[in-house]
Structure 1
Amino acid sequence: MDKLEFPLPGSDARITAFRYGTPGARPKAYLQAGLHADEFPGMLALHLLRGMLERAGDRITGEIVILPQANPLGLEQHPNGFLYGRHDSASGQNFNRGYPDLAPALADLPLGPDAAQNVAMVRDAMGAALAAMQPETALDAMRHRLMVLAHDADLVLDLHADNQALPHMYTGTPLWPDAQDIAAEIDARAVLLAEVSGGNPFDEALSGPWWALARARPEAAVPSACLAATLELGSNDDVDLRLAEDQAAALYRILERRGMIEGNPGRLPGALCEATPLTAMAQVKAPAGGLIAYHRQLGDTLRAGEVVATIIDPLGTSVEVTAETDGILFARHSQPYAWPGKVIGKIAGASDLAHRRGLLLTD
């Protein structure tokens, strides 16, 4: 195990990465947690996974890079005794948006029919493009360093958690069904697929250039050589040792199934859901301000028109909030107070919603 430290300019913060296996060996896996620094379950899961990897020793066949806390800047943001880690306090930017677009650096590569040669060429070009960048702020330097560490990985798992949620997963449409084993291992109750979700989040910045290049260069052999996914491991504040042990074991089995570690992961669990388009996911928004009284629980299957919650104005009237699509309620908000437009729930539906275009993720 190698411990790698990367100071961020303009800040006392530093990124810490742990590397297992042989540097440069294949296949390469990159796992990080805490990109939104106030989402905690993944941090504990990766802490426990590190111990498992240390015990694995020579059974690690490739290279595995682990960042239990990928966002040291967000961890410094705790005014008034509360950690705020979703947005950068200096710029207001979401820590999981605005990653470099590497696709333009790949446009003129002399690609041919040999997929392995093309993959090596693309990864070299990505590395050169990143090496030429000169980040000016600590936030951009952090984004840049994470991309440098992950850009050449075969597998990238970005561990998050939602406000109050069941385990679920976001990944690129071209990566499905190849990513089915990942969804099954984490007991995902929703799998949301999109090619472009908007804002260039971390996982899409790594996997998206591959399918964009394949579409632009149909004469060349361009595989999706980076399977990147965002894994939402439940609710933000679910820091529980027993749950984290199960999550770390699931991540270890994923690495075994994908050839990063020698071993027998056992039979793959059955899938708990079908994958659905992100454009079919309904964001349940409050039409007014007031207290949120939920009528439905996480995991409930809803029909369009059914009441999800009532918004109660303590000084006035109440209004019901209904589901706009059939599907499973997989996320809610833990703070039971709303204002107009606040997202108070998410429903994984199967049919595209006409208004779900452009920026598809909650900022």
Structure 2
Amino acid sequence: MQTRRTPLVSTTLGTSRELVSFHFGDAGRDGEKVYIQSSLHADETPAMLTAWSLKQRLAALETEGRLRGEVVVVPVANPIGLSQHVLGQFLGRFEANSGQNFNRAFPMPPADALIGRVGARFSPDDAAYNARLVRAALVEMLGEMRAKNEFASLRLALLTLASQADVVLDLHCSLEATMHIYTSPASWPAIEPLARYLGANGVLLATDSGGQSFDEVHALLWNDVRDRLGDKVPLGAPNIAATIEHRGQRDVDYDTAAHDADAIVDYLIARGVIEGGMKDAPPLAQAATPLAGSQQLTAPSSGIVVYRAKVGAVLKAGDAVFDIVDPLTDSVTTVTTSNDGVFYMRRAIRFVHAGAPMGRVTGVVAIRSGVLIGA
């Protein structure tokens, strides 16, 4: 294992932070490289514990000589957010100076510039060679970018670490949730075994959810390059990327983290990154559905929230999801779902204002368009 430390731009006098990455194995010329980071939203601790557990397993597997590729693990992907506490409240989703979401608007170089950097060196018949050219050009272009502040330097460091990976996994969690995954239709065939090993109770598919989140910009860039090159220039497809939502913020325990780390190891064995007997993947808990098909439930009024449905429940249209209780008027308003699907995440607090987002239910029919993910 190699430990690498990337210093971030200092925001104020007398302060400094660094991004720490752990590198296992060696992809060489033909092996796969897998990049895994956790807690880009710094208050999403279940992901961090899973990454820590995975790091222990990878260290042991490397000692046993079982790595056939390279795995990079960044257990603390957001040292900035870890320091943001206001009156005892942990604020890890948004950067305090700018108000920006740590997992939105990642600045990838444009596809046209990337293709122009490679120029006439593309091969007419070697897709793997072309992929190496594009990766090298991407690393060069990221290396030429200059971060003006700590927040921008964190983003640039994370993009650079992941830029040469065949598989990019971004580990998160929701507020109160079942295990679920966000990925693209192009990535889904390669991610499906991981969903099975993890026991994902929901898989949400979108090519472009509109937020330029970390996992999505990698897949989008390669898809864009491929489309612009056309059929005359074959290109290897390192567009496997996904966000893994490790249940809810309070689901922090050793057994759960060990289960998820073992599932990731099983997935890497199945891909040939780790040597070992491949386990049969269990059946998929729920079929993948379009992210545009998920119903976003909102509070029709202010009051006390009483959930009628548990996270992970399979609901039918018309089923009660939650009540809003008004302790002044004694009114009780019941909110139902119009979807048949899984109630895969919900709000963690129990008193809300009118219009507050309350949870989501998967659905097979697209009912939304535009930006599909929240702030």
Q: Do Structure 1 and Structure 2 share a fold, with TM-score over 0.5?
A: yes
Residue correspondence of structure 1 range 221-300 to structure 2 within 5 A: 221-300=234-313
**Residue 337 of structure 1 aligns with which residue?**
351
- Paired AA for residue 357 in structure 2: V
Equivalent-residue separation in structure 2 for 1:49 and 1:23 (angstroms): 18
- Paired AA for residue 75 in structure 2: P
Q: Deviations over 1:222-278 (max 9, x none)?
A: 342131110001111211011111111111111111121111131111111111111
Equivalent-residue separation in structure 2 for 1:6 and 1:24 (angstroms): 23
Match of 1:49 among 51, 54, 75: 54
Gaps of 5+ in 2: none
**Residue 204 of structure 1 aligns with which residue?**
216
The share of aligned pairs that are identical, in percent, is 36
Match of 1:125 among 113, 131, 137: 137
Shift of 1:107: 4.1
Q: Tell me if the contact between 2:9 and 2:147 (Cα under 8 Å) persists in the aligned partners.
A: no
Match of 1:188 among 190, 196, 200: 200
**Residue 333 of structure 2 aligns with which residue?**
319
Equivalent-residue separation in structure 1 for 2:28 and 2:82 (angstroms): 30
Equivalent-residue separation in structure 2 for 1:265 and 1:47 (angstroms): 23
1:27 aligns to 2:32 (yes or no):
yes
Shift of 1:319: 2.5
- Paired AA for residue 315 in structure 2: L
Q: CA RMSD in A?
A: 1.5
Q: Tell me if the contact between 1:186 and 1:233 (Cα under 8 Å) persists in the aligned partners.
A: no
- Paired AA for residue 336 in structure 2: T
Gaps of 5+ in 1: none
Equivalent-residue separation in structure 2 for 1:200 and 1:137 (angstroms): 20
Equivalent-residue separation in structure 2 for 1:273 and 1:36 (angstroms): 26
Shift of 1:305: 3.2
- Paired AA for residue 106 in structure 1: L
- Paired AA for residue 293 in structure 1: V
Q: Give the structure-1-normalised TM-score.
A: 0.95
- Paired AA for residue 5 in structure 1: R
**Residue 82 of structure 1 aligns with which residue?**
89
**Residue 6 of structure 1 aligns with which residue?**
6
Equivalent-residue separation in structure 2 for 1:120 and 1:134 (angstroms): 24
Aligned length: 361
Shift of 1:217: 2.7
1:215 aligns to 2:224 (yes or no):
no
Q: Deviations over 1:168-226 (max 9, x none)?
A: 00011111222110111111111111110112000011111111222233222234213
Equivalent-residue separation in structure 2 for 1:99 and 1:285 (angstroms): 28
Does 229-238 or 323-332 show the bigger shift? Answer: 323-332
Q: Give the structure-2-normalised TM-score.
A: 0.92
1:16 aligns to 2:20 (yes or no):
yes
Determine helix, strand or coil for the equivalent of 2:84.
Answer: coil
- Paired AA for residue 230 in structure 1: T
Q: Tell me if the contact between 2:345 and 2:359 (Cα under 8 Å) persists in the aligned partners.
A: yes
Q: Tell me if the contact between 1:154 and 1:227 (Cα under 8 Å) persists in the aligned partners.
A: yes
Change (3 A) 1:310 1:2: same
Q: Tell me if the contact between 1:175 and 1:224 (Cα under 8 Å) persists in the aligned partners.
A: no
Shift of 1:328: 1.1
Shift of 1:289: 1.4
Q: Deviations over 1:269-290 (max 9, x none)?
A: 1111111111001111112211
Equivalent-residue separation in structure 2 for 1:13 and 1:51 (angstroms): 24
Determine helix, strand or coil for the equivalent of 1:144.
Answer: helix
Does 237-246 or 100-109 show the bigger shift? Answer: 100-109
**Residue 106 of structure 1 aligns with which residue?**
114
Change (3 A) 1:114 1:37: same
Does 294-303 or 327-336 show the bigger shift? Answer: 294-303
Equivalent-residue separation in structure 1 for 2:275 and 2:229 (angstroms): 36
